[in-house]
Every structure is written in structure tokens, then in C-alpha cells.
Structure 1
Amino acid sequence: MNTQDIENTLRKLRLSGMAQTLQTRLMQAQAAQEPFLDTLSSLLQDELDQRRSRLMARRFKLSGLDEKPSLADFDWRFNPKLPRGACFELHSLKFLSEGANALLVGKPGTGKSHVAKAVAYQATLQGYDVAYVEADGALARYALADADERARLLKGW
């Protein structure tokens, strides 16, 4: 079996991460006279990395988030009354492991959306499925929906 046959077999086995890096890993192994198990280990890690990357991209796409914010990007001088400690506590996602809920309330323009998006994005990074919706739009859609659509919306939330 030559390398092209191996690449084709890897793709048939749905190991595209390994197939994409096979040539590079083979050249590295030959140049460094690397043991077979080290090369195989690197190829397996390439596959795992690609799968994780695709999964993260899929989770982000399904989350409803339009950006990837973090609390490190937040300008805390913008609203000094915002409880920084509580925001970072939410960002730790401890409330999820406790089975609790989080509700952010306050006047418009105070940073609630940024904090909520940062927490939601952190949850996607930690492997949670996220559905980010803004209350006013979601509740308006719900109010205007028929009974079947309301049931579908509730199930999604």
C-alpha cells in the first residue's frame, strides 16, 4: 500500500484529520528518524484535534451567538457598577454543574448581553450545547406564534 492508498483508506474510515497530515507526519518521521509509535501517536492526535475543532465550530454555529466574546475583552470601566465577581462566577459555569439557572437583568446598555454571550461562548468551549436568544425577540416570536409553533419554540429553549 502506498501513501495515496493509505490516505484514501483513512478518508473511507472517516479519519480525515489523519489523512490531511499524513504526508507531513511521514516527512517529519523520516527526517527525525522517529519511531513508528511516535508517528502514529502524532497522527492520532491530529485526528482528535480536527474532530474537536469541527465540534467546536458546529456548537458555535448552533448556539445562536454572533461573536466570540470573553470577559477578558470587556471594558469594566464602561459600567463600574457591574458586579465583576458575579460575572466571573457565571463564567466559571459552576451554576451549570449545580443544575442552577442564571438570569441577567438590568437597564439597556449596561453590559448584560456581553456578559451573557461570554458565558454562553465559554459553555460551548466546555462542551455544552448552547442556545443564545435575546428575550425581547424570543418573546415577541412566541407571542405571535400559533400553538404548534409555540410548542416548538418552547422545546427548543
Structure 2
Amino acid sequence: MNLAEIERALRELRLSGIAETLSTRVMQAQASQEPFLETFAAMLQDELDRRRTRLMERRYKRSGLDEKVTLADFDWRFNPKLPRSACFELHTLKFIAEGANALIVGKPGTGKSHLAKAVAYQATLAGHDVRYLEADTEFGRYALGNATERGSLLKEWVQPDLLVLDDLFLARRISEHAAE
């Protein structure tokens, strides 16, 4: 097989990580006279890295998060009353492994959304299926949907490992049907 045939075979086998770096790895191996196994190991690592990256991108996109925030980004001086130890405890994601719930309650503008997004993003990085929803918007969609749409929404809400309902009842008034 020549290089073009190998690249075609790699695409057919869906080994795009190796296909993208093949010519570079071949030149690297020739220039440094690396043993075959070292070059092959590097090519396999390229494939693994690409798959992990794509999986993380899909997981993040599916999560509904609009930004990648972390606790490192949080300005703790903004709200010094925020219980740091509790925030970092949530960030460990132990509550997910334990099948427990977490409820973040406080006045508007105290950092709850940032904390919720940071925990949700950390969960996506840890390999969890996450959904981040603006609660009032989603409950409104639910209230306006027909029975099939409501069933579909409920399924979307209960399937993930972590469901974040942000700004719950921020609008202070939702229909009785949506609340139910």
C-alpha cells in the first residue's frame, strides 16, 4: 500500500486521528529513525486524543451550557458570604456518584448560576451526560407542548446524569399546568 491507499483505508476504518497526523508521523519517524513501535504508539495516541476531544465537544454541545466556566473563574470577592467549602464539595461531583440532589438557593445576583455552570461543566469533563436548562423557559415550552412533546421533554430531562435547572421560578409566575 502506498500513503494515499493507507489514508483511504484509515478513513474507511474511521481512524481520522491517525489519518490527520500520518504524514507528519512518517516524516518524524524517518527524521529521527524511531523504532516502528514508538511511531505506531504515537499514531494510536493521536487517534485516542482526537476521539476524546470529539467526545468532549459532543458532550458539551449536548449539555446546553452556553459557556465553559470553572470555579477558578469565579470572583470570590464578589460574594464573600458564599460557602466556598460547599461549592468545592459540589465541584467534586460526589453527589452525582451517590445519586443525590444538590440545591443551590439564594438571592438573585449572588453567583448561583456561575456555580451551577461550573459544576455542570466539570461534570461534562468527567464524562457525565449533562443538561443545563433555564427552568422558566423549559417549563413554558412544556406547558405549550402537546402530550407527545411533553413526554419527549420529560424524557430529555430525566435521562442525563446531571440536570441543572437554573433560575427556577425567576419569572415568579408560571401556569399551573407547567408547575404541575
**Could you tell me how far apart the structure 2 residues matched to 1:129 and 1:102 are?**
16
Say which structure is richer in strand.
2
Report the count of equivalent residues.
157
Partner of 1:118: 118
By how many angstroms is 1:107 displaced?
Answer: 1.3
**Could you tell me how far apart the structure 1 residues matched to 2:138 and 2:75 are?**
28
Superposition map of 1:1-157 within 5 A: 1-157=1-157
Deviation above 4 Å: which 4+ runs of structure 1? none
TM-score by length of 2: 0.84
SS at match of 1:67: coil
What letter matches 1:30 in structure 2? Q
Gaps spanning 5+ residues in structure 1: where? none
By how many angstroms is 1:153 displaced?
Answer: 1.4
What letter matches 2:57 in structure 1? A
By how many angstroms is 1:152 displaced?
Answer: 1.6
By how many angstroms is 1:51 displaced?
Answer: 0.5
SS at match of 2:113: helix
Q: Percent identity?
A: 73
Tell which deviates more after alignment, 30-39 or 101-110. 101-110
What letter matches 1:78 in structure 2? F
Deviations 1:58-87 (A, max 9, x none): 011100000000000000111111111111
**Could you tell me how far apart the structure 2 residues matched to 1:24 and 1:149 are?**
49
What letter matches 2:117 in structure 1? K
TM-score by length of 1: 0.96
**Could you tell me how far apart the structure 1 residues matched to 2:103 and 2:141 are?**
20
What letter matches 1:110 in structure 2? T
By how many angstroms is 1:102 displaced?
Answer: 1.1
By how many angstroms is 1:154 displaced?
Answer: 1.3
By how many angstroms is 1:2 displaced?
Answer: 1.1
**Could you tell me how far apart the structure 1 residues matched to 2:103 and 2:140 are?**
19
**Could you tell me how far apart the structure 1 residues matched to 2:41 and 2:145 are?**
53
